[in-house]
A and B are shown apart, each in its own frame.
Chain A
Amino acid sequence: MEVGQLQERFVDYTKSLFCEGFLDDQFLQLQQLQDESNPDFVVEVVSLFFEDSEKLLNDLTKTLDQQFVDYKRVDAQVHQLKGSSSSIGAQRVKNACIGFRNFCEEQNIEGCLRCLHQVKQEYSLVKNKLQTLFRLEQQIVAAGGAIPMVE
């Protein structure tokens, strides 16, 4: 595929991610932070996010799996996930976390489990999307093109 096409795909794909709410404005901020001194900044940050989130989600699963659920701990973990997802602009994950916290407050185990499931789903989705996006970027670069800025 030639560069122009790749770039076009890239732009369209990025736009769709925003439209569908997978990403929000914060992601743009990240992109703006990327510069010559840090050409891979976005990829680095997002990779870090994936790593961290997976750990958190595993922890959450374990915590909710206990006989006596420590809701404070659950809440703290969800709070952290909310913070990191919002920092990279993973909007749907963040929103899922907000709902999750409400159930934590109520100490509603079913609600929490449902939310956990939902968060995991959103997380998987956004992870896929972002990985696709990064692949596109790599392809563009490999084809000798520049990655277009998406408004």
Chain B
Amino acid sequence: MNLGCGQAVESMSMPSSSVSCKSGDGVSDQFPVGLRVLLVDDDPTCLLILEKMLRNCLYEVTKCNRAEIALSLLRENRNGFDIVISDVHMPDMDGFKLLEYVGLEMDLPVIMMSADDGKNVVMKGITHGACDYLIKPVRIEALRNIWQHVVRKKRHEWKDAEQVGSVEDGERQQKLAEDADYSSSANESNWRNSKRRRDEEEDAEERDDTCTMKKPRVVWSVELHQQFVAAVNQLGIDKAVPKKILEMMSVPGLTRENVASHLQKYRLYLRRLSGVSQHQGGLNNSFMGPPEATFGSMSSFNGLDLQALAATGQLPAQSLATLQAAAYGRSTSKSAIPMPLVDQRNLFSFETPKLRCGEGQQQQPNNNNSKQLNLLHGIPTNMEPKQLVSLHQSAQSFGGMNMQVNTHGSQSNSLLSRTQMLNETSDGHVSRLQSSTGQPIMSTGCAIGVLAQNNNARGPLYIPVSIASSTPDFSVNNDTDLSGSSFPLGSNAGMSTFSSKGVLQEEFNSETKGSRGSLLSYDILNELHQQKSHVWGSQNVGLTYDASQHANIRGSLDVSPSVLVQQGFSSFQNVGQNRNAVSKAVFSARQESGHGNAPNFSRQLNTFLVDSSPSVKAERLPDSSYQNILFPEQFSQEDLMSVLLKQQQEGTGLVESEFGFDGHPLDNLPV
């Protein structure tokens, strides 16, 4: 036996007759005999010992002492090995790097080993995709079972292959849908399909994350995504084509297809930020993962969006702060930026939804869990029109709604258009909303987003309307979400309270209580999520808060946030009746907000209506303490007004009684 085996690669192959060949399923009756192992370690002593051990296990061992040699061996003979065992500390290349390469290029299971048993190192191995980590000195018993990793990997690959096909189809469909610029129903169905598939895909991805990467999927790690973004920025987003990006990134093993699909998602995300209306469905899903996860994502998105907005200068820094504050339900501090803006990368990290939302949320422990909470993250309490827009956006992102924050142009218009867009996108949900309310509620867009989130209708949509002008009942906050940010966060759980019921949970304690702030946009959101509850009218949601509905706005107007804001809430009163009311309220709220006063969402809704000024001014909101005003003020004022007025006529009284606030006649609302 050569002792000086370090330099050359030694390959001692067992006589083929005694080795079972790998059949299609990789397992033969002699398996794991003959398992082809590539051993990489710069320490000659260890190399020799391990080789002997592996031979004793009847494996076929090839050893080398340099990572580069190992890689070239692997590349020359892609199917020549079943598993790779590599040391962590090597002079020519870090073991983790080798791990990444192998995972990307060959997708073989890789076992790391080291004398270093520190938790960090082991963790690093896991995050880089090693399927196992052995501590030296390695015993033969540890090596006997390595074949399990080969089998496991093969099984995953088979499963993946099945899913990938469907996912790719879904992606294709989605692309078409997007190009078509949402023709609504068509899009929606596509979107649904792709959403479903993406969910599966992502689930599968997550599942496999702990093991080595499965092909064909590439794990877009933080570093990888950063490289990607850098390349894209260098090329210019318009000129960034997958091929060039791939070249610039020069990551071995990354294919043009990987980059292309990632680029598509990235573009959608950017479009969302810039307020371009598009069919959001797909995007949401792709970035958000399953609805539940979206909440978390939402917050992260919120942060991101807000940040992005701020970054683009469209969102004044302060607005951003306030938005964030609102999101968190902070009532006051305008300057506080409660939520650290989530790193953009989170968006693209499909690894876990948690990643996405976790980072963005500051102290929101239950990002993932409580859908509601996430909604309003980052929504400032004082919402300026712009802020509302942003909130809108965040709300949207939350649910994966593609609510574009329309930061361009007049906000109201944009809001309106956005909501309209949402309407369209929601496949008619919005329109439903509209029809019920007669207003383009969703024009604010955010409502939609938020509402969409609110899949569960049961959660009452909290429309942070601080109807409760004087009555504390409205302290929606109490219940929850409404405090602070009244952004219609549609939560899947029905939480879509604008104010983030979910989001602010911490602040408000939200959840569930009933006052879920489901935002007006529930409808849309719901629709989007294929939920039954509709925002406005949806029984569950909308105005109902929690089941107790209607009339109880205990303070939290489940009505879509903006609605609540408006005085129109009084019209809410008939919660039971309406959706319209709610929506109107929302609208009015929106309009108010459009006035430019960032509503201080943190306020309790109660006070909201108190003000005399009719329109639910955004500013009022703060005063009125309706926490959740979530709607961006972009409503078309006319729309809102009409809604409100209608509501008002319908029966303002109810609201008052129910919510305990002085009904503010809609008359006040500026027309």
Contacts and interface: CB of A to CB of B under 8 A. Distances in A.
Given A82-B115, A84-B45, A86-B115, 19 more contacts: A29-B139, A32-B140, A33-B49, A38-B1, A44-B48, A45-B45, A47-B3, A48-B3, A52-B43, A79-B115, A80-B42, A84-B43, A86-B136, A86-B137, A87-B43, A87-B45, A87-B137, A88-B45, A88-B49
Interface in B32-67: 42-46, 48-49, 52-53, 56
Nearest to B49: A87
B89 interface: yes
Given A33-B53, A41-B52, A80 B140 contact: no
Contact of B48 (A48, A76, A82, A89): A48
10 contacts: A29-B137, A38-B1, A47-B3, A52-B43, A79-B116, A83-B43, A83-B115, A83-B137, A87-B45, A88-B45
Interface in B84-116: 87, 89, 91, 114-116
A49 interface: yes
B140 to A, nearest CB: 6
A73 to B, nearest CB: 10
A37 to B, nearest CB: 9
Given A47-B3, A89-B137, A83 B114 contact: yes
Interface string A43-66: 011011100100000000000000
Given A38-B52, A48-B45, A80-B42, A87 B89 contact: no
Interface residues of B, number: 23
Interface of A: 26, 29-30, 32-33, 35, 38, 41, 44-45, 47-49, 52, 76, 79-80, 82-84, 86-89
A32 B140 CA distance: 10
A77 to B, nearest CB: 10
B116 A84 contact: no
Contacts of A49: 45
A38 B138 CA distance: 19
8 residue pairs, one from A and one from B, having the closest CB atoms: A83-B115, A84-B45, A86-B137, A26-B137, A87-B137, A49-B45, A87-B46, A33-B52
Contact of B140 (A33, A82, A89): A33
B3 to A, nearest CB: 5
Instruction: Pick the most buried of A32, A52, A84: most chain B CB atoms within 10 A of its CB.
Output: A84
Nearest to B53: A33
A26 B43 CA distance: 16
A52 B44 contact: yes
Contacts of A48: 3, 44-45, 48
Interface of B: 1, 3, 42-46, 48-49, 52-53, 56, 87, 89, 91, 114-116, 136-140
A123 to B, nearest CB: 13
A32 B44 CA distance: 19
A84 B1 contact: no
Contacts of B137: 26, 29, 83, 86-87, 89
A87 B136 contact: yes
A3 to B, nearest CB: 28
Nearest to A50: B45
Contacts of B53: 33
A31 to B, nearest CB: 12
A65 to B, nearest CB: 20
Contact of A33 (B42, B45, B56): B56
A45 B116 CA distance: 22
A115 B134 CA distance: 27
A45 B52 CA distance: 10
Select the residue from B1, B3, B49, B56 with max chain A CB neighbours within 10 A. Answer: B49
Nearest to A49: B45
A87 B137 CA distance: 5
Contacts of A82: 115
B49 A30 contact: yes
B46 A84 contact: yes
A29 B46 CA distance: 13
B3 A80 contact: no
A41 B3 CA distance: 10
Contacts of A88: 45, 49
Nearest to A86: B137
A80 B136 CA distance: 11
Given A33-B56, A44-B3, A83 B44 contact: no
A87 B49 CA distance: 8
A27 to B, nearest CB: 10
A27 B46 CA distance: 13
B89 A79 contact: yes
B255 to A, nearest CB: 35
A80 B43 contact: yes
B243 to A, nearest CB: 39
A48 B44 CA distance: 7
A44 B1 contact: yes
A15 B46 CA distance: 24
Given A29-B139, A29-B140, A44-B3, A83 B46 contact: yes
Contacts of B116: 79
A26 B3 CA distance: 19
A147 to B, nearest CB: 18
Contacts of A76: 89, 91
A44 B140 CA distance: 18
A44 B138 CA distance: 18
A84 B49 CA distance: 10
Contacts of A35: 56
Contacts of B42: 80
Nearest to A35: B56
Contacts of B89: 76, 79-80
A89 B45 CA distance: 11
Contacts of B44: 48, 52
Contacts of B115: 79, 82-83, 86
Nearest to A27: B137
A79 B42 CA distance: 12
